[in-house]
């Protein structure tokens, strides 16, 4: 990681810890709640095993464990980004938040569904590697290390195993769900079918969570689940259920958005190099393109449209270059969701940051949709 001079907090996203490959690492404020939940659930267990060492040792183990979980989640997301980069699609944002992490990618060329599958599975595989490393270190060094450190290694080994298994489950928005959707698309050529199969898988995951933590205790053990278990179930199951519900277009209020297809709204785009002159960009726009993408090799520097040209001050258009005057394209102004409520949500999110929503499908830029923003 390449750190900034000091961690900075943005008004909308969180704390920017640094950048990797040009993509910022942002910690959302909601991630603090995740840390508190982990600490609260782990403290009684640590106290029961290590209480004789005193409160300082107990609290220290809890803090080290929470930090280890955060590092594990970050490495999980960086694995997504590294795999995507190696396959031809660069990440533009890494984010840690209440439900773990998220890696946002920019557009790519010659992208295929099987690459999505590998990129998605890179995260759980990384957690499996971390599990093996922590387990091995615990087995070899547990007698030589202080008890608190050994206990932390043991805990992190199981946490990483749980992260690997859970994220590999075949339901959206989990990594396994994205991999399943990509596999179905690769075999059938139908992206929508892949998303629907993975969405039903996600609802199956929700049913499994409800059975194990709520229904099983009630029906088989005759014990009511405690409030903390119910809170964890809601926090885990809700984002899965809401994502799948949206993808499937269930419910009356979702049906109109579920019928949205951005391909019918696409406007043509063109690409120029960063050294192209502004006069060249103007000519490209005059030839019919509504949006010009400015690239430096495989990296997207920004965009230029007719409104942006009109807003430029006096300059020599035969000397000034596209790379000097282009406007950076925020991550929220790029989507791979073409149809349904996810496409509608992407369009709404882009409206607050950009005049255009760049639409990418299977790694290729399809075009751009005007958002209505000024």
Q: What is the reported pLDDT for 7?
A: 36
E strand spans, 38-157: 91-97, 100-105
Convert the pLDDT of each residue in 278-293 to its tens digit.
999 999 999 889 999 9
What pairs with residue 358 in β-bridges?
A: 334, 368
Convert the pLDDT of each residue in 59-78 to its tens digit.
999 999 999 999 999 999 99
Percentage of the chain modeled with pLDDT above 70: 93
Q: What is the reported pLDDT for 226?
A: 75
Instruction: Answer whether 329's CB lies under 8 Å from 350's CB.
Output: no
Q: What is the reported pLDDT for 229?
A: 73
Higher-pLDDT residue of 183 and 37 is 183
Report residue 62 as tokens.
């809890």
Answer yes or no: is pLDDT of 5 > 50.
no
Give Rg (Cα) of the chain. Answer: 24
Q: What is the mean pLDDT of the chain?
A: 86
Answer yes or no: is pLDDT of 129 > 60.
yes
Convert the pLDDT of each residue in 298-351 to its tens digit.
788 899 998 888 888 788 899 999 999 999 888 889 998 888 777 888 888 888
Q: What is the reported pLDDT for 121?
A: 96
Convert the pLDDT of each residue in 85-104 to its tens digit.
999 888 888 988 877 888 98
SS3 258: helix
């Amino acid at each position: 990681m390449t750190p900034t001079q000091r961690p900075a907090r943005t008004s909308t996203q969180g704390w920017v810890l640094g950048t990797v490959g040009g993509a910022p690492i942002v910690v959302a404020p909601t991630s603090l709640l995740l840390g508190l939940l982990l600490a609260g659930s782990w403290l009684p267990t640590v106290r029961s095993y290590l209480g004789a060492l005193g409160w300082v040792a107990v609290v220290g183990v809890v803090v080290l464990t929470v930090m280890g979980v955060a590092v594990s989640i970050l490495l999980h997301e960086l694995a997504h980004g590294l795999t995507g980069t190696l396959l031809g699609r660069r990440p533009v944002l890494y984010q840690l938040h209440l439900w773990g992490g998220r890696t946002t990618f920019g557009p790519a060329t010659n992208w295929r569904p099987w690459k999505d599958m590998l990129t998605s599975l890179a995260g759980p595989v990384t957690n499996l590697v971390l599990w093996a490393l922590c387990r091995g270190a615990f087995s070899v060094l547990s007698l030589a290390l202080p008890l608190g450190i050994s206990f932390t290694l043991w805990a992190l080994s199981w946490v990483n195993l749980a992260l690997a298994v859970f994220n590999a489950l075949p339901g959206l928005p989990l990594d396994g769900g994205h991999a399943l959707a990509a596999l179905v698309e690769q075999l059938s050529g139908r992206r929508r079918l892949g998303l629907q199969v993975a969405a039903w898988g996600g609802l199956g995951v929700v049913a499994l969570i409800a059975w194990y933590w709520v229904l099983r205790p009630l029906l088989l053990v005759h014990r009511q689940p405690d409030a903390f278990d119910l809170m964890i179930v809601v926090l885990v199951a809700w984002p899965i259920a809401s994502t799948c519900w949206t993808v499937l277009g269930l419910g009356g209020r979702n049906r109109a958005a579920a019928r949205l297809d951005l391909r019918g709204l696409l406007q043509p785009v063109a690409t120029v190099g960063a050294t192209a002159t502004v006069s060249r960009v103007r000519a490209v726009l005059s030839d019919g393109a509504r949006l010009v993408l400015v690239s430096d090799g495989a990296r997207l520097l920004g965009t230029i449209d007719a409104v942006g040209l009109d807003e430029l001050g006096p300059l020599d258009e035969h000397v000034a270059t596209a790379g000097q005057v282009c406007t950076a394209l925020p991550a929220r102004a790029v989507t791979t969701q073409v149809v349904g409520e996810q496409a509608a949500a992407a369009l709404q999110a882009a409206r607050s940051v950009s005049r255009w929503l760049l639409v990418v499908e299977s790694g290729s830029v399809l075009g751009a949709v005007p958002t209505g923003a000024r």
